[in-house]
Structure 1
């Protein structure tokens, strides 16, 4: 009898120990209350997959430099005090995808082995899309990325994603509204990249000019992102005599050659260029853009190249941080350096509000930021992550190239 009681008692102890072991195992795999991978009591690790080589390496390098500069300064000052009361430094791991979707997917898989908490800031629609489904399945935040693809900001479809820059439709619509309100008669020729990037810009533009009797789209052509020349399309479009050229183009070398080619064929319309391919020093100057009556784009960041912002406090600190913590010695030619610096500031807002060291808590905090005027933001723009279907930044200002930089405009002409 005593033997049987002891046996039953031993079995109960073993069963209890097994339950405890299973519970501990569950916590270790990311159960309720456990810290997510990539975050400790003292540090959090972020991953960036972006083109660091190839034709888009200029803006891609900027997406790493800005975040690195921002958190380099923050870490030097002691780190970020998170919402759970712990102070942590922010570590950045960068991966080159050369704007190749297969490489970006492989980079995301490598991040899992490298202990990355969240993916952020990387450039490109096809490259970010390449691992979107995997990020959703694995519940890894893929946030504040540099794509205007609306898919990344639809919470039901992409609960672990959020874009940073305005969606392509917002940029196209801003220019369409400006053109439609001009009062003058305009003929528009369109050249768009044959993917969601180009189609999004054109969609927003056409919606904005719908019903505007003064605007006529006379010809619309496309090109592939892998093309090395668009000379044939430009020659065909020039024959229309359009006075406005809507060029939804994302490839830096093609944007430069397009500016040069239109001058060679004697076509000098006013241009619209997307924000990511409108850099004065990297694109407009080598393309001799001053020869055109107007080059228009949209922006939400202060441009360090502009004399207007030469002594701006945000710009001065940004350039100092960029040199000291990202070893980026030149004034940035691409806006992505400023954008990713803003990404850093926005991430800090989320870190300060997340009440547990988990990806769930991070996403909740990130989705609750509104009316945040991040460093370098233009007046009239702000970070707002609370709008379903919109990225963190959805407001833009239309600007016109003045031969050196951009100036905000109210009217077309």
Structure 2
């Protein structure tokens, strides 16, 4: 008799356990990811939220890659020291950052994502088109937000195709078009030589540039060449382009050593056109000074961030706080040579806006909040630019201003001079 009672008791316990498991499954986050207590998504608790970054911390792009981590660590380091972020659900959380080195290698980026996805709430800030693309489909399938990443590839801005993704920096086409419009509006007859990276990065810049000069009879492209991101020299391409004696060099290049070498080679050939560089390879300290860019009649780029190196911002309140946070919380020495430090600081501020708006500790609630930010003036933003995540097909920042190198930093211009 006692044996039968024990069997019935065992069966009842088993049934209760089964029901408990079922209810636990129902308590998972609404985004389908594995949850924790209270139904929150992976990577978030009542006291913390963890963000993942895969970015180049070694290799040729380590300079800007290191900045993609330093800026966001600086921003949230200061926020955490002040007590944390008060989320829309009423809880205050500290923000933790997990960053891994991918050396600008897509395979390593995918491996890093696989390592991080089980412990982070979202992926963010990482540099590079090929590296961000490497885990894009996996992130979509896993419903892990891949947001405010530092690539101008428009594939990340299609909310219908990938609702868990969003780029941060202006698209390559936006940058290229801004410079094209500057040339078209100059009223001068100009010839243009183009050297671009042979991938989506380079193609995007060239596509935007050609859109900017469309219908402009005063601007003519006389030669186009490409290079591979793995190349160690572009001397041959610069030599061919120099033979055109073009007035303008449009250089859609993402590799720091090659950008410097291109500037130097053209001078060796006594070819000194006006020069355009993308925002991510336009650093005065890291690229223009070693490339002796002052030898050219004008070196132009586009920007949306205040540059700490510029005398115009030496006493700017945003810049002063940014540098203080960067040194104190990211242990970054000196003044950053790359804009990516400023960009990732802005990424932190934009994420905080979304955190403050999300009403549930889930990725779905986060993405809804993130896509509702309009005309947010993040710290360090230039006049005329803002964060706007409400426009489908556009990154968080789509507005830029054209600037000209003045020997130490950049000055905003509205004409080719």
- TM-score bracket, normalised by the shorter chain, equals over 0.9
Q: Deviations over 1:304-341 (max 9, x none)?
A: 00000000000000000000000012100000000000
Q: Secondary structure at the match of 1:61?
A: helix
Q: Deviations over 1:377-406 (max 9, x none)?
A: 000000000000000000000000011110
1:369 aligns with 2:373: yes
Provide the rounded CA distance (Å) in 2 between the counterparts of 1:300 and 1:160.
25
1:217 aligns with 2:212: no
1:263 aligns with 2:267: yes
1:409 aligns with 2:378: no
Provide the rounded CA distance (Å) in 2 between the counterparts of 1:291 and 1:73.
41
2:67 to 49, 59, 62: 62
Provide the rounded CA distance (Å) in 2 between the counterparts of 1:10 and 1:276.
65
Q: Secondary structure at the match of 1:245?
A: strand
Please state how far the C-alpha of 1:15 moved relative to its aligned partner. 5.3
Please state how far the C-alpha of 1:31 moved relative to its aligned partner. 9.7
Please state how far the C-alpha of 1:16 moved relative to its aligned partner. 6.5
Please state how far the C-alpha of 1:157 moved relative to its aligned partner. 1.8
Provide the rounded CA distance (Å) in 1 between the counterparts of 2:239 and 2:36.
60
Provide the rounded CA distance (Å) in 2 between the counterparts of 1:235 and 1:380.
38
* Change in 2 beyond 3 A, CA 1:356/1:175: same
Is the CA contact 2:104–2:131 (under 8 Å) kept in the aligned structure 1? Answer: yes
Provide the rounded CA distance (Å) in 1 between the counterparts of 2:410 and 2:380.
15
User: Which residue does the alignment assign to 1:21?
Assistant: 21
1:207 to 211, 232, 236: 211
User: Which residue does the alignment assign to 1:198?
Assistant: 202
Q: Secondary structure at the match of 2:39?
A: coil
User: Which residue does the alignment assign to 1:42?
Assistant: 47
Please state how far the C-alpha of 1:30 moved relative to its aligned partner. 3.7
2:180 to 176, 183, 190: 176
Please state how far the C-alpha of 1:18 moved relative to its aligned partner. 3.2
Q: Secondary structure at the match of 1:346?
A: helix
1:87 to 92, 95, 100: 92
User: Which residue does the alignment assign to 2:356?
Assistant: 352
Unaligned runs of 5+ in 2: 1-6, 29-33
User: Which residue does the alignment assign to 1:147?
Assistant: 151
User: Which residue does the alignment assign to 1:3?
Assistant: none
Provide the rounded CA distance (Å) in 1 between the counterparts of 2:175 and 2:47.
40
Provide the rounded CA distance (Å) in 2 between the counterparts of 1:20 and 1:251.
54
Q: CA RMSD in A?
A: 1.8
Unaligned runs of 5+ in 1: 1-6
User: Which residue does the alignment assign to 1:316?
Assistant: 320
Provide the rounded CA distance (Å) in 1 between the counterparts of 2:23 and 2:49.
25
Normalising by structure 1, we get a TM-score of: 0.96
Q: Secondary structure at the match of 1:206?
A: helix
User: Which residue does the alignment assign to 2:104?
Assistant: 99
1:378 aligns with 2:382: yes
Please state how far the C-alpha of 1:21 moved relative to its aligned partner. 2.9
Provide the rounded CA distance (Å) in 1 between the counterparts of 2:219 and 2:244.
14
User: Which residue does the alignment assign to 1:164?
Assistant: 168
Normalising by structure 2, we get a TM-score of: 0.95
Please state how far the C-alpha of 1:174 moved relative to its aligned partner. 0.2
Q: Deviations over 1:107-135 (max 9, x none)?
A: 0000024x111100000000000000000
User: What number of residue pairs does the alignment pair up?
Assistant: 407
Q: Secondary structure at the match of 1:345?
A: helix
1:277 aligns with 2:281: yes
Q: Deviations over 1:161-218 (max 9, x none)?
A: 1000000000000000010000010000000000000000000000111110000000
Provide the rounded CA distance (Å) in 2 between the counterparts of 1:31 and 1:319.
37
Provide the rounded CA distance (Å) in 2 between the counterparts of 1:402 and 1:25.
60
Provide the rounded CA distance (Å) in 2 between the counterparts of 1:295 and 1:66.
26
Provide the rounded CA distance (Å) in 2 between the counterparts of 1:225 and 1:327.
30
User: Which residue does the alignment assign to 2:4?
Assistant: none
Provide the rounded CA distance (Å) in 1 between the counterparts of 2:238 and 2:58.
28
Deviating beyond 4 angstroms after TM superposition, the runs of 4 or more aligned structure 1 residues are 7-17
Equivalent residue runs for 1:95-134 within 5 Å: 95-113=100-118, 115-134=119-138
Please state how far the C-alpha of 1:67 moved relative to its aligned partner. 0.2
Please state how far the C-alpha of 1:72 moved relative to its aligned partner. 0.3
Provide the rounded CA distance (Å) in 2 between the counterparts of 1:374 and 1:302.
11
Provide the rounded CA distance (Å) in 1 between the counterparts of 2:245 and 2:291.
21
Provide the rounded CA distance (Å) in 2 between the counterparts of 1:18 and 1:54.
52
Q: Secondary structure at the match of 1:49?
A: strand
1:299 to 300, 303, 314: 303
